[in-house]
Structure 1
Amino acid sequence: MSSDPWGRVDETGTVYVRTADGEKVVGSWQAGTPEEALAYFERKYEGLVVEIGLLERRVKTTDLSAKDAQAAIDHLRQQVDEHHAVGDLEALAKRLSALVESVDKRREERKVQRAKQHDEARTAKETLVTEAEELAQSEQWRSAGERLRALVDTWKGLPRLDRKSDDELWHRFSHARSAFSKRRKAHFASLDAQREDARKIKERLVAEAESLSGSTDWGVTAARYRDLMAEWKAAGRAQRDAEDDLWNRFRGAQDVFFAARSGVFAERDAEQAENLTLKEELATEAEKLVPVTDLKAARAAFRSLNERWEAVGHVPRDARPKVEGRMHAVERAIQESEENEWRRTNPEARARAAGLTGQLQAAVDKLRGQVDAARAAGNNAKADKLAKELEGRQALLDQALKGLEEFGG
């Protein structure tokens, strides 16, 4: 019989292992010596030690799932429990029990982690849904559309939730995207219709603009082109290709008309500049008539100058007030001389002036007598009052006498 601290072989070749519950049969060995039998079953024990050690490292250092770890533990525990090895099987059983605790702890940790990831994923998806529903009402078609596509990519990168929650949130998310797409499609369909209407309006405007391009009715046609431009702007934009083509035609028609008008106006401006020079010379000649010394000669000279003035023609609009003002000033000076001459030679006016002067002279003489009488009577207050009235009548008399002098005495 052969034995060691953890097992023995009896005379029949039966191999035993010692446990806390007593000896357990390991197996039967008939092929060699008892020492060889013990060595064989001891090697099986060492194999279990190695396998348990490897499993411990895998549980500690890898992401081995709890399910796979538990299956490996159960497999090794079965071998330990069947006592097919010689060694400290109780120590192996304790190591396996400790592994179970580690696996259970990891399972709980992963459960907590999964719950946390689930909550984070739910919050993230709810945030995406809320933003998508807000974007569904946007009219920033390009930026909102790009943002919704980015949200889809973000959604795909998030973990799945439980099926019910995931489906509900995806339904809201998808509905928001569909609502936005539907609104955008309706908007651009409406825009296309508006652009088609704009194209028809602008084709009509182009046709009229082209028909006016040869007109020589400069003022009326230029005004009509301004109206056409206002209508063009109010019509809105047509489709890009049509807009560019129609605009080129519209602008080209205007350019033909305004180029022709500019040519005519350039000739007219040159003629009017020459007219201005002539009228400035006439105005200078007219200004030599002032001050008027010989009314009859001045009147005749101005009439001749004015006839030549009327024959000259138009001058530039901005220069007209100044040069015409110079002639009008000479004309007013001659008119004032005529009025003065009329007043001087008018017998009725002279008689009226003489009568007025006589009346004022009589009033002044009367007041002077009243002042003298009041002072002689010692009534100075009345005398002062009458003196003030006398002063006013005297001023009127002086003015009337001056006017009478203008009539020659």
Structure 2
Amino acid sequence: MSSDPWGRVDETGTVYVRTADGEQVVGSWQAGSPEEALAYFERKYEGLVVEIGLLEKRVKTTDLSTKDAQVAIDHIREQVDAHHAVGDLQALRDRLDKLVATVESRREERKQQRAKQSDEARKAKEDLVTEAEQLAQSDQWRAAGERLRSLVDTWKGLPRLDRKSDDELWHRFSHARSAFSKRRKAHFAQLDAQREEARRTKERLVSEAEALSGSSDWGPTAARYRELMAEWKAAGRAQREHEDDLWNRFRGAQDVFFAARSSVFAERDAEQTENLKLKEELAEEAEKLLPIGDLKAARAAFRSINERWEAIGHVPRDARPKVEGRMHAVERAMQESEETEWRRTNPEARARAAGLTGQLQAAVDKLRTQIDQARAQGNSAKADKLERELEGRQALLDQALKGLQEFGG
């Protein structure tokens, strides 16, 4: 017979383990000595100790599920309860009970963690839905579209909620994306229609611009090109594949016209510059006729200068007023000399001037007599009034005498 603190082997080879409820049969051993029997069943106990230790480590350090942990605990507990090992079985039960409590605690922690994650996932998805619904109204098509695609990727990375909540939020999210896609599709369809209309308009403008490129009606054609340019800008952009080609044709037609006009204008400007030089020389020649002495000779000379002037073409517009003003000044001086000569040599005019002078002289003499009479009578007021009238008549008389002198009177 052999024994230790936790078990014994009787003379029949039966192995017992000591427990709080008394001895329990472990098994029968006939193959060797009692010591070997105890050692065998003690090794089985050590095996259970190791198995429990490994399970405790797995529970603490891995994501072992509660269900799998409980199955493993129950399996070990069955072996302990079967009393097929020699050792402190109650200590094993205590460790298993403590492990059950640990598993339950971790299960509750995980439950709370899942609830927290679920709340966070719900909040995150609600935020995604809110942003998606806001983006659905955006006209920033590229940026909003890229952001919505990014939100989908974010959504896929979030945990699922309960089916009802997840489906409701996904429905709103998907509806917002669909609404944006529908608006964007309608916008670009309208844009395509506008660009097609712009293409047709610009085709017409190009055709007219090309037809005008050979015109030599410079002013009206240049004005029409300005109108065509305004219409071009108002038409909007055509499709990208057409816009550049249409613009190159439109601009090319204008370039042909304006290059031709510039060439003609350059020749015209050179000619007009030469004309200006000739007219300035004639204006200088005409100014040498002043002051006029011999009217007849001056008139003949001016007529010759004017004939040569008329034979010369246009001058630059900005120089025209100055050079023509010089000729007009000579012409006015010539006309004034002619008028003076005419008045001097016209008998009828001289007679009218002499008659007027005589009438004014008689009126002045009469007023002086009346003034003397008023003074003599002591009527100063009447005399003052007559003197004011005399001043006016005397001024007219002086002017008439000056005119009469022009006739040689």
Normalised by the length of structure 1, the TM-score is 0.85
User: After alignment, is 278-287 or 336-345 more displaced?
Assistant: 336-345
**Gap change, CA 1:81 and 1:194, over 3 Å in 2:** same
Q: Does 1:112 align with 2:116?
A: no
Q: Does 1:405 align with 2:402?
A: yes
Contact 1:132 1:173 in 2 (8 A): yes
Tell me what 1:50 maps to. Answer: 50
Distance in 1, matches of 2:27 and 2:375, equals 174
- Aligned partner of residue 159 in structure 1, secondary structure: coil
**Gap change, CA 1:358 and 1:85, over 3 Å in 2:** farther
User: Cα offset for 1:276?
Assistant: 0.8
Distance in 1, matches of 2:168 and 2:96, equals 44
Distance in 1, matches of 2:353 and 2:15, equals 172
Distance in 2, matches of 1:304 and 1:46, equals 146
Tell me what 1:90 maps to. Answer: 90
Distance in 1, matches of 2:40 and 2:396, equals 162
Distance in 2, matches of 1:113 and 1:373, equals 139
User: After alignment, is 148-157 or 180-189 more displaced?
Assistant: 180-189
**Gap change, CA 1:64 and 1:306, over 3 Å in 2:** same
User: After alignment, is 266-275 or 10-19 more displaced?
Assistant: 10-19
Query: Letter of the aligned partner of 1:405 in structure 2?
Result: K
Distance in 1, matches of 2:163 and 2:11, equals 66
> Once the two structures are aligned, what percentage of the paired residues are identical?
75
- Aligned partner of residue 158 in structure 1, secondary structure: coil
Distance in 1, matches of 2:17 and 2:365, equals 171
Instruction: After superposition, give the CA deviation of every residue in 1:223-272 in whole Å (9 maximum; x if it has no partner).
Output: 33333333333333322233333333333322222222222222211111
Any residues of structure 2 matched to 1:69-148 within 5 Å, and which? 69-148=69-148
Contact 2:363 2:393 in 1 (8 A): no
RMSD of the alignment, in Å?
3.2
Tell me what 1:184 maps to. Answer: 184
Query: Letter of the aligned partner of 1:180 in structure 2?
Result: F
Q: Does 1:193 align with 2:193?
A: yes
Distance in 2, matches of 1:109 and 1:354, equals 140
Distance in 1, matches of 2:394 and 2:27, equals 168
Any residues of structure 2 matched to 1:179-258 within 5 Å, and which? 179-258=179-258
User: Cα offset for 1:337?
Assistant: 4.8
User: Cα offset for 1:359?
Assistant: 4.9
Contact 2:209 2:254 in 1 (8 A): yes
Any residues of structure 2 matched to 1:304-319 within 5 Å, and which? 304-319=304-319
Instruction: After superposition, give the CA deviation of every residue in 1:372-391 in whole Å (9 maximum; x if it has no partner).
Output: 987xx9x9xx79x959x967
Query: Letter of the aligned partner of 1:185 in structure 2?
Result: K
**Gap change, CA 1:257 and 1:4, over 3 Å in 2:** same
Query: Letter of the aligned partner of 2:268 in structure 1?
Result: R
Distance in 2, matches of 1:87 and 1:329, equals 144
**Gap change, CA 1:148 and 1:367, over 3 Å in 2:** farther
Tell me what 1:22 maps to. Answer: 22
Query: Letter of the aligned partner of 2:326 in structure 1?
Result: R
- Aligned partner of residue 18 in structure 2, secondary structure: strand
Tell me what 1:169 maps to. Answer: 169
Distance in 2, matches of 1:71 and 1:357, equals 155
Q: Which runs of 5+ in 1 are unaligned?
A: none
Q: Which runs of 5+ in 2 are unaligned?
A: none
**Gap change, CA 1:108 and 1:356, over 3 Å in 2:** farther
Distance in 2, matches of 1:153 and 1:400, equals 113
Distance in 1, matches of 2:23 and 2:353, equals 169
User: After alignment, is 364-373 or 64-73 more displaced?
Assistant: 364-373
Query: Letter of the aligned partner of 1:48 in structure 2?
Result: L
**Gap change, CA 1:174 and 1:362, over 3 Å in 2:** farther
Any residues of structure 2 matched to 1:336-351 within 5 Å, and which? 336-337=336-337, 346-347=349-350, 348=352, 351=355
Query: Letter of the aligned partner of 2:261 in structure 1?
Result: R
- Aligned partner of residue 23 in structure 1, secondary structure: strand
Size of the alignment, in residue pairs? 402
